A and B are shown apart, each in its own frame.
Chain A
Amino acid sequence: MLNVDYKPLMQSLAGACLAGLARAITGVIPIWLGTKPSRNQRIYFANHASHGDFILLASCLQPEERARTRAVAGADYWRSNRIRRFMAEDLLRTVLVERNGVERTQDPLDVMLKALDDGQSLIFFPEGTRNMSEEPLLRFRSGLYNLAIARPGVELVPCWIENMSRVLPKGMFLPVPLLCRVIFGAPIAVEPGEDRTLFLHRARQALLDLKPTNGAGR
């Protein structure tokens, strides 16, 4: 009997379909402002307000880079029922981390470091949850700093995702077609002697600086 592992094929097909869909609906184009597409291992960190965010960001990457890039998402949400679990684990290959410190069985940092050590790039939302406030960006949680300290060789690329929260707001499942852009900034790194608070503040500012100022939504 042939025992073909259909999973990688299904995953790359799902990835390509979602990227095509994201482009058809949002006409998304990447703006490489501070960096260029590269083969370097990266952590793309971005603002987060919609489930579409990581699909949009992934659709801006080149196919080989997209194939090795996985999004980090909350296990409490994505393991809460079978459909979500199937989508997150089997279809989209997300790295699921347990956000709740009391009940968790796995350290989120270990899970993410394992993915990095496998040579994968990550899409990471340092706010830790979807931003539902009027503020453009919430305070950063410390995960980004911990990753940066643990794997200093990985590039940290700030990515501003524009308009996706209007395309697919929280709680909606049908997207409104609106134009989106993803703006990639210059990679940042922890500087010698820089402490956690200072670095997280600087990383947050680097992301905010990419936010366009004109009237095209937020």
Chain B
Amino acid sequence: MADIYRLFIGLIAVLCAASLVAGILTWRSSKPASSTLVNLNARIRAWWVMVAAISLAFVFGRSGVIILFMLVSFAALREYVTLTHTRRSDHWVLIGMFLIVIPLQYYLVWTNWYGLYSIFIPVYCFLAMPALAALWGDTSRFLERISEQQWGLMLSVYCISHVPALVTLDIPGNEGRGLLLIAFLIATVQGSDVLQYIFGKLFGRNRISPNVSPSKTWEGLIGGIGSASLLGASLFWLTPFSSIEAGVLAGIACIMGFLGGLVASAIKRDRGVKDWGHMIEGHGGMLDRTDSLIFAAPVFFHIVRYAWT
């Protein structure tokens, strides 16, 4: 497990550097500090908290990671459902989503029952939720209500649960190193978010989809994903992959992550909000931070599962 210490020492070094730079910038800037700088400081503080939470989960191994992501799913689903149209007649379906579906999905991941956790939400919940809603008898905005909730479960629970599911993959020669695979995915995808932001601020000119997100530019995308792929390749020692394989997988995960961010922006735009929530200062809500991971995790999981096990 020496590799995991190397990774966390590296992360702490990066965060220390970021805190130092931001501190110097704040100290030298005119008072009061600009909103970009205030936001940057809040983001760095939140990063410290996130790294601490992930480290704590890693201390407890597989169970720790599963509990951590169960809480992430809870926070994400809560933010999502808040923005949907719910009616009084949805009450028990909604409670079931939080009290039954989330724990059961993560329990299935914990027991490594791949055959069930990969279809529990897309098949059984998909059929059960509209059936319950129909039995209840409220047909008002029926299609809209059931599809919104189904979507919420897929994004916030099903997709996110594929991050801890990486621990359960039996990759020959990688025994006991499942946590490192999770660290690899999170580091590259979150790194790509930061790098896209930096490249976009420095070189951003041509917007990809101005209607959806004015801050996403081709320059940011190409620079961010290119550099995040290099980051992934340089982290190959965490994984069972060669450096080229690690770079390609990181690139795919980051492209998925970009698409996840774009879809999340479209939903927020549709609902007329800027952030999903107010949970993490400087970052908005849980979904603002995990939107890229949501799209990246299942694809990364299935490529690795198909090609390496």
The contact of B88 among A169, A174, A177, by CB within 8 Å, is A169
B305 within 8 A of A: no
Decide yes or no: A217 and B273 within 8 Å by CB, A27-B279, A176-B95 being known contacts: no
Which of B82, B86, B94, B273 has the most A CB atoms < 10 Å from its CB? B82
Contact assessment for B95 and A214 in the assembled complex, using a CB-CB cutoff below 8 Å? no
Nearest CB in chain A to that of B90: its residue? A176
Residue B22 at the A interface, CB < 8 A?
Answer: no
A174 touches B95 (CB 8 A): yes
Number of A-B contacts (CB under 8 A): 46
In the bound complex, what is the Cα–Cα distance between A204 and B146 (angstroms)?
35
Q: Return the CB mask of B235-276 against A: 1 if under 8 Å, else 0.
A: 000000000000000000000000000000000001111000
- Which A residues lie within 8 Å of B83 (CB)? 215-217
Say yes or no for A61: interface residue by CB 8 A criterion. Answer: no
Is B98 touching A176 in the complex (CB atoms < 8 A)?
yes
Q: Distance (Å) between the CB of A60 and the closest chain B CB?
A: 13
Given contacts A27-B278, A27-B279, A29-B278, contact A217 B82 (CB under 8 A): yes
A163 interface residue (CB < 8 Å to B): yes
Cα of A173 to Cα of B86 in the assembled complex, Å: 17
Residue A166 lies at the interface, judged by CB distance under 8 Å to chain B: yes
A27 touches which of B86, B88, B277 (Cβ 8 Å)? B277
Say yes or no: is B79 at the interface (Cβ < 8 Å to chain A): yes
Q: Are B273 and A214 in contact (CB under 8 A)?
A: yes
Query: CB-CB contacts of B171-191 with A at 8 A, as 1s and 0s?
Result: 000000000000000000000
* Contact across chains for A176 and B273 when beta carbons are under 8 A apart: no
- Are B272 and A177 interface neighbours, CB within 8 A? no
Interface size on B, residues (CB 8 A): 21
Asked if A177 and B78 sit within 8 Å, CB to CB, the answer is: yes
- Contact status of A178 and B82, CB under 8 A, knowing A214-B271, A215-B272: yes
A213 to B279, CA, bound (A): 21
Residues of B contacting A217 in the complex (Cβ-Cβ under 8 angstroms): 82-83, 86
Mask: chain B, 45-79; 1 = CB below 8 Å from A; 0 = not = 00000000000000000000000000000110011
Does A16 sit within 8 A of B, measured CB to CB?
no
Q: Which of A166, A172, A176, A179 contacts B277 (CB 8 A)?
A: A179
Asked if B94 and A176 make an inter-chain contact with CB atoms under 8 angstroms apart, the answer reads: yes
Q: How far is the CA of A163 from the CA of B126 in the complex (A)?
A: 26
| A163, closest chain B residue (CB) | B82
Asked whether A172 lies within 8 Å of B78 as measured between CB atoms, the reply is: no
Task: Please name the residue on chain B nearest to A25 by beta carbon.
Answer: B78
Q: Which residues of B contact A178 (CB under 8 A)?
A: 78, 81-82
A217 to B271, CA, bound (A): 10
Instruction: Give chain B interface residues in 5-20, CB to chain A under 8 Å.
Output: none
- Write out the residue numbers on chain B whose beta carbons fall within 8 Å of the beta carbon of A214: 271-273
Complex-state Cα separation, A174 to B94, whole angstroms: 11
Q: How far is the CB of A50 from chain B (nearest CB, A)?
A: 11
- Across the A-B interface, the 3 shortest Cβ-Cβ residue pairs: A215-B271, A214-B272, A176-B94
21 contacts between A and B (CB under 8 A): A27-B277, A29-B278, A163-B82, A166-B86, A169-B91, A172-B91, A176-B86, A176-B94, A177-B74, A177-B78, A177-B98, A178-B78, A178-B81, A178-B82, A179-B277, A214-B272, A215-B83, A215-B271, A215-B272, A216-B82, A216-B271
